Structure 1
Amino acid sequence: MTKNDLRNRARDLRLQGWTYDRIQAELGCSKSSISLWVRDLPKPAPRYSDEERLGLMNAGLARLRTAQDEERQETKRLARESVGALSDRELFLTGVALYWAEGTKDKSYSRRESLQLINSDPNVIALYLRWLDLLGVARERLRFRVSIHESADVAEAEGFWADLAGVDRAVFRRATLKRHNPGTSRKNVADAYRGCLVIYVTRSAELYRRMEGAWYGIVEAAGARD
C-alpha cells in the first residue's frame, strides 16, 4: 500500500469514528503521520458520555475487587484446609504461643505467676478455653470479667461471652468500664462490638511455669533464642 493509499485509508477510518490507536493498529503507521493526515477532519464524537464512562469504570473496578476478594478467600480456604486435625501436642504448643503473645506474663519487678488473658477475638478466646481443657482446668477454676466501653451494652456482651465459654452469666464479675474520651475516634462501634473478655485461672502458678518453660523450649527448638 502506497503512502497515498495509507493516507486515504486513514482518512476514511477517521471519518468512521476510529481513534488514532485503532487506525495505527489497522494500518501499521505512526500516530504522528495519522495526525498529519487527518488533522483537518472533525474529531469523532465520544463513544460514551461522562456518566457512561464513569459507570463502566465503576463496573470494572467492582469486577476487579470481586476477583481479588475471591482470590483472597481461596488462598485462605486452602491454607485453612491444609492444617487438618491437631494432635494434643500441637494444640498444647499452639496454646503456649498464643498465651505468650496475648496473656499476662511474670516480670522480675512484678511477680505474676498465674494465667490471665484478655482478648476481644472470639476465636482466640475459644482456642484458649480449649487449651485450658487440654490442661485439665475445670471451668469452676475460671474467673470471667468483661472489659468494655461504658456506652456499650454490657449485659449483651456478658451474655455473648458466657455462651461462648459455656458458663452462666451470673458467674461473671463486675465489668470494667472504659470511660468515653470525646477526643478519640473509636472504630469499634459496630453492633458486633462486645468488648474484651478477661479470663483468670485460679491456683495456676504451676500451670504458668509450665507454660513459660514450654515457650522457651519452643524458642530454643526453633534456634531463635539469643
Structure 2
Amino acid sequence: MKLEEKNKAIKLREKGFSMGEISQAVGVSKSTVSLWVKDLKLSNKAKKIIASKLTKGQEMSIKTHHEITRQKEKIAKDYALDLVKKIKIDKNMAKLVCSLLYACEGSKGPRSVLSFTNSDPNMIVLFLKMLRDGFDIDEKKFSICVHLHDYHNEEKQLNFWSKTARISRDHFMRPYRKPHTGVNKKEGYEGCVRINYYDISLRRKIIAIADQFIKNTGL
C-alpha cells in the first residue's frame, strides 16, 4: 500500500469525489478506496456532493434500464405484429379462437346459456367478433348484465358497454351494484360485463370445440 495514494484518495473523498472517480484518479480498485475511506468523517458539503452524484448515477441507470426495456418490448411487438399479419382469420379460425376464449373465461356449469364474463373491453370485443364471425348469430338472443361499483355512473357505463359490445341497450338487464368494500376507486375500471347468449346448442358446440382442440394437441 502506498501512503501517497491513500492520502490522495482521502483528500479527494473529503472534496466529495465518488468511489469510482477516486479509483480512476488514484489507479486502484474501488474496493481498496472503500477500505481506505470507510472511517472517514465527511463534511455536510461533501456528503451533499456525493449524494448528488449517486442520485444522478441512479437516474442514468434507471433511464438506461427503461430504454433497454422499451427496445425489447418493441422487438417483441414487431415479432407479434409480423406473426399476426400472417394468420388468416377465416370462419373456422374464428370458431376456434372464440371457443378457446370461452374455455378460459366462459361459464361451463350446468346452464342453458352461453355466458362470457370479463372486465377488459378488448376481451369482450374480441370474443364477440369471433362469435359473430364464426357462427350464425341472432342478435335478439343477447342479454347483458353489467357489474358496477358504487362510484360508477350507471348511465355512462351502460352506454360504454353498449357501444363496446355493439349491443342495443334494450338487451341490458338492470346493473348489479357491488356492495361497498371500502376499496379505493380503480381508475380506468369500466366495471365487469357478463355476455349471455341464449342458445344451448351453440354453447355445447363451443365447449366441445375447445375440448377437442386441447385433447388433439396432445395436452
With the shorter chain as reference, the TM-score category is 0.7 to 0.9
Report matched runs for 1:1-226 at 5 Å.
Answer: 27=27, 31=32, 35=36, 46=46, 49=49, 52-53=52-53, 55-81=55-81, 82-84=83-85, 85-88=87-90, 89-106=92-109, 111-133=110-132, 134-182=134-182, 185-186=183-184, 189-190=186-187, 192-202=188-198, 204-224=199-219
Larger of the two Rg values belongs to structure: 1
Quickly say closer, same or farther: Cα 1:171–1:13, change in 2 above 3 A. closer
The CA deviation string for residues 98-138 of structure 1, in whole angstroms up to 9 with x for no partner, is 101101113xxxx2142111110111101111122121113
- Secondary structure of 1:55's counterpart equals helix
Letter in 2 for 1:218: F
Query: Which stretch shifts more, 118-127 or 61-70?
Result: 61-70
Q: Which whole-Å CA distance do the structure 2 matches of 1:147 and 1:135 have between them?
A: 27
- Secondary structure of 2:108's counterpart equals coil
- Secondary structure of 1:179's counterpart equals coil
Aligned alpha-carbon RMSD (Å): 3.5
Quickly say closer, same or farther: Cα 1:200–1:208, change in 2 above 3 A. same
- 1:153 to partner: Cα distance: 1.4
Quickly say closer, same or farther: Cα 1:23–1:76, change in 2 above 3 A. closer
- Secondary structure of 2:206's counterpart equals helix
Q: Which whole-Å CA distance do the structure 2 matches of 1:152 and 1:212 have between them?
A: 34
Contact 1:20–1:31, Cα closer than 8 Å, also in 2: no
Letter in 2 for 1:98: L
Question: Unpaired segments of 5 or more residues in structure 2?
Answer: none
Letter in 2 for 1:181: T
Question: Unpaired segments of 5 or more residues in structure 1?
Answer: none
- 1:194 to partner: Cα distance: 1.3
Q: Which whole-Å CA distance do the structure 2 matches of 1:127 and 1:78 have between them?
A: 21
- 1:206 to partner: Cα distance: 0.9
- 1:21 to partner: Cα distance: 6.3
Q: Which whole-Å CA distance do the structure 1 matches of 2:18 and 2:50 have between them?
A: 18
- 1:67 to partner: Cα distance: 1.7
TM-score normalised by L of structure 2: 0.75
- Secondary structure of 2:194's counterpart equals strand
Q: Which whole-Å CA distance do the structure 2 matches of 1:161 and 1:83 have between them?
A: 27
Quickly say closer, same or farther: Cα 1:28–1:86, change in 2 above 3 A. same
Quickly say closer, same or farther: Cα 1:144–1:13, change in 2 above 3 A. closer
Q: Which whole-Å CA distance do the structure 2 matches of 1:218 and 1:22 have between them?
A: 62
Letter in 1 for 2:66: T
| Number of residue pairs the alignment of both structures matches | 207
The CA deviation string for residues 138-175 of structure 1, in whole angstroms up to 9 with x for no partner, is 32221112111122112111111111122333432111
